[in-house]
A and B are shown apart, each in its own frame.
Chain A
């Protein structure tokens, strides 16, 4: 299975390596560096790179390449999924997964990697079990460890590993018992030149933060479960119950976890909450181009559209842009030709716009393509699919927990072609 792991930063240095079987020389990464050189963008490096004796499978997260060395047949997704799980665990432990964070916590990182894989085969990947084995670093604990020479290795034995609910820690205790659920929906859409929708779909997740004492057994039901077309669950969800009654019944892990991700059936029409009016044109023979962009709300169900961010990759021929926004700030990077406009909130009375001119390279012919506009936005207290949680019940424990649910709609991969 997984033989070794190398962590490579954006400038191409290996800053951490870990071997689960015998040591594989760093030079194996040369094939990887060649691939990086060939690729124009960091994202374009192929995830699977064959070399004469090994195969390198890499994922790119937070500008760090996680390069796994494979020696024999293994499903590539198995490795990719595991590497992402490693990154998630690091984020969970250190807050961020950056080179600095990894270097600062190198001992914990090695301890984690040692426990997550045994001889190249995943052993403990549940964050709840790992946290029993290896305590996440805190400032206090780091200070204490430095003085007393003790470690982050847990004193208690990880009994969770043996249980039928391996995702839940044992002996959980809270003074305030709370369960929060966030329903977050993302709209993926491609809007064509004329403003009509080419494709749009809604992908949603329910993220939970559950801090409940003991062994609570929760059920969560929806007002309109039929909306959910395709779902995937955290292993804690009882699948049979969902099949039979469309109710989520589960003993939750402790802390933060993703309960469910879903896809809303594409038969339903997706409400597109914003529209973009654009006029981006270049004239033949002129070294000037016109740029006009206006945003407006559409089908927002009375909610405000916030944190709007527009970004666009302008054609290579554009030298500079001289624009004036009616609100927010914009930046244009003349090297990468990336234009981004931080709009903020859309006020329906006074629509935000960005107007001005672009200067082109003199003598260059007019670019024959128009840029794509990428949009980001947020709408609080709205699940655009109309999904509603009906109720949350708790069984198995006596106390009354505090329950909360929050809805949010965001732009996923939202593109407007011009």
Chain B
């Protein structure tokens, strides 16, 4: 706890730290006595001393000084050197980790070298938790001193190779912060990261997924090429010239297996409870998956809408972007975007946006009916936004333009000003697309004009009058007349449009409006606003011909009455996907600092082999793996001389981190036993080679003769069945436990067609024995079968059937039967045991009965409960046993240490549940007397 006291100096300004740390350090009144008179030199000397007590005393005094407000920063290096850094060597991994955390949180340049050393040390620590802390410390050091970048990249490179799920998220985070452009560091770790992903903690998953999205866009070719034909937005591609299509077909797209691996391994994460993870996977699919696979993310995204308001906001934004390009994805879920009166304003707006994007000929009537409700909403800003949305729908879907227009015209008599104003503005935009057919709407608007007070709406109506004055030749001059009366009281924006209207009428109908126009131009000339004065002057020169105005006035009509293109109403989310979805930049619609651009797909895929990893294979025996389809794959064994020569080439690279490498490599080796991978050519890794041999299964030491009852003859109507564990590797599958079944017929008739029913009620994979066609009375037969218990003691339930009957039976394996023995040397055992500590270790102390205290009896007892191999021991009072679980091939290490009269049983395995069960069984076996 001493280390945390240095916090005080650094963060004395933050009240929490002071609280926290004062509580850590027993500050008693005594401290404030004569101690503060101590000179710094004395304190330094005390810190340098070898005695813990003196150091502690010095620390107390320093804290006392700080509490008195004295400056103790001079002592800082001494404290770090002698106190904090000592804990970094503590035998307990948690202390080591927190010491590093404290050390790296000190933002003082003077300790950079110490920090660098500590990080390097911790990066090769045996404990993955300490390595995780090292990854966190990298970022801290980088922000403190960016000059360390090169050294830190070395550490990152080393940590990226780590195979622990604890480390993966943190080191990728450091990678993103320090050297996101060093994509080459990822190649070799790509497949591993994909495979680890599901087991990484949720925050790490988000970071890794975002990084892998970027990576994939630089390494794989686009999967969208072929799809383009089916893309709903480019239906015309279908009609493209024959020739072009032939070019496409000549190079059929085949997805890189690594690309597929990423998509496959991220998919289950859509079920995460963490919304950030779901969003991360969704954006990965959006940017990387073939278009026809995109639909799987829809449900998950819609599910997120049930979450908190803030989550909804971000998710809706992303859906808005997606729905522009791919309506089809969200159309079935349209009703999930219906607005509720209790939604927050920004949620309502986004939902409207999405509904507008989803509108098509088929659903527009439903959407418009829904919009009608919204227009009546009490939230007027929202009602106005709805009117905008109706306008969008009307321009996008020509079938409903008229319906929408009529609806909007009705709204013109609404009591609310904002609603009316918005309607006018939208109608104006709509009319521009087909003015000739709608002179009656323009007339209607002219009638309502007196009641409309919102300037924007008035301006819009005036513009419409001017633009289409030829369609309403009688009304327009009258409107102008009214406006001449009220000109001085209007808003600027309205005044501009009055001038505009006057000019247009002058050009088309000068007979009636000449005087009115001149009057208005005169009013405008002396207006207070210079914009209006300017405009007036300009218009006058343009339309009223005089000697000074040159050729321009000849073209006045063509200038003012030029046909104007209709405005395009488009979504604010159009092209928003230039930013990677789910990012801050996407939300802000502008590039945030530190945003990493998603590159375009490369035209030609870069070399794929860069991702090949050196897989270490067991060498002694040719291994035969059974693949799913039943074909045996034979893996060639290599001669030792070959591997020796190759190992020298790779030695230099593995030298620096040999400890780490051997540690992490054992992980793959274990996996290899269950999951055969295609083997690439590889240099041989000398360091890890003894470990892989150690996992070779050996023959069982002891096979119990006892059999268990599966089916009693009374319940089985005369058929009885017994089973026993043969403790042999199963011939039906690598992950199966081998069983022997003895079936007997105790009736006086022959039983026919004895078999195991195809349907299994629980999930275990069962290899059934071949059906026994006929079992004579009083005869019995022995068959063998295999069950994959999945490393759990859960019973395998299945149906044993005869021609007439079905009997439900179940096999409950003892935990010891789920193991296969392996042999290893004593040294390897201790090494492996050292890696499986903490949660992975369970132990118990028991009192031995005297007759059990002999090597024979201990060995016999242990191997009878569990199928383990005995390791020849150098010490008399220590017994070691090793095995691996059948399904996953995880190492199980058992050791019994005798300390007369007690014995300590220790079990080390990743399978904690199995470990604790096994411990209990071994305990009972050793405490019970008898054979």
Contact = CB atoms under 8 A, between A and B. Distances in A.
Contact of A77 (B306, B582, B840): B582
Nearest to A22: B107
B280 A75 contact: yes
A73 B583 contact: yes
A153 B23 CA distance: 9
Given A72-B593, A198-B335, A199-B338, A48 B276 contact: no
B704 interface: no
A110 B16 contact: yes
A372 B379 CA distance: 12
B346 interface: yes
A119 B592 contact: no
B299 A229 contact: yes
B584 A55 contact: yes
A40 B913 CA distance: 55
A402 interface: no
A121 B313 CA distance: 23
B567 interface: no
Interface stretch (A157-165, A297-305, A321-329, A377-385): A157-165
Nearest to A239: B268
B638 interface: no
A251 B913 contact: yes
Interface in A3-33: 18-19, 21-23
A214 interface: yes
Given A214-B916, A235-B273, A81 B344 contact: no
Given A80-B308, A313-B378, A161 B94 contact: yes
Contact of A47 (B17, B26, B310): B310
A208 interface: no
A231 interface: yes
Contact of B271 (A80, A82, A231): A231
B14 interface: yes
Contacts of B302: 230
Contacts of A41: 344-345
Interface stretch (A173-181, A240-248, A344-352, A355-363): A240-248
B335 A73 contact: no
Interface in A42-60: 43-44, 46-48, 50, 55, 57-60
Contacts of B416: 368
A50 to B, nearest CB: 5
B20 A125 contact: no
B279 A44 contact: no
A106 B16 contact: yes
Contacts of B271: 231-233, 239
A121 B136 contact: yes
Interface in B5-48: 13-17, 19-20, 23-24, 26
A149 B308 CA distance: 40
B867 interface: no
Interface in B139-190: 139-140, 143, 166, 170, 173
A191 to B, nearest CB: 12
A234 B582 CA distance: 22
A107 interface: yes
A368 B414 contact: yes
Interface of B is mostly: helix
B308 A75 contact: no
Interface residues of A, number: 107
B303 A230 contact: yes
A267 to B, nearest CB: 10
Interface string A367-378: 011111010000
A75 B206 contact: yes
B838 interface: yes
A109 B16 contact: yes
Interface stretch (B197-205, B246-254, B659-667, B772-780): B197-205
Interface in A222-276: 229-235, 239, 241, 243-245, 247, 251, 258, 261, 263, 266
A232 B101 contact: no
Contacts of B593: 71-73
B247 to A, nearest CB: 39
B569 to A, nearest CB: 24
A154 B694 CA distance: 40
B792 A164 contact: no
Nearest to B596: A73
A280 to B, nearest CB: 13
Interface of A: 1, 18-19, 21-23, 39-41, 43-44, 46-48, 50, 55, 57-61, 70-78, 80-82, 84, 106-107, 109-111, 113-114, 118-119, 121-123, 125, 149-151, 153, 157-166, 170, 188, 190, 192, 198-199, 201, 203, 214-215, 217, 219, 229-235, 239, 241, 243-245, 247, 251, 258, 261, 263, 266, 313, 315-316, 365, 368-372, 374, 393, 395-396, 413, 415, 417
Interface of B: 13-17, 19-20, 23-24, 26, 92-95, 101, 104-105, 107, 127-129, 136, 139-140, 143, 166, 170, 173, 198, 201-203, 206, 210, 268, 271-276, 278-280, 299-300, 302-303, 306, 308-311, 313-315, 333, 335-336, 338, 340-342, 344-346, 370, 373, 376-378, 414-416, 582-585, 587-588, 590, 592-596, 762-763, 792-794, 838-840, 910, 912-913, 916-917
Give the 9 A-B residue pairs with the shortest CB-CB distance, closest first: A110-B16, A163-B839, A72-B594, A199-B335, A47-B310, A372-B341, A162-B838, A122-B203, A77-B276
30 contacts: A43-B309, A47-B313, A48-B584, A50-B588, A55-B588, A55-B592, A59-B308, A72-B593, A73-B595, A75-B584, A77-B275, A78-B203, A80-B308, A81-B275, A84-B311, A109-B16, A110-B16, A119-B139, A121-B139, A121-B203, A123-B136, A161-B94, A162-B128, A165-B839, A233-B272, A241-B763, A247-B763, A251-B913, A370-B376, A372-B341
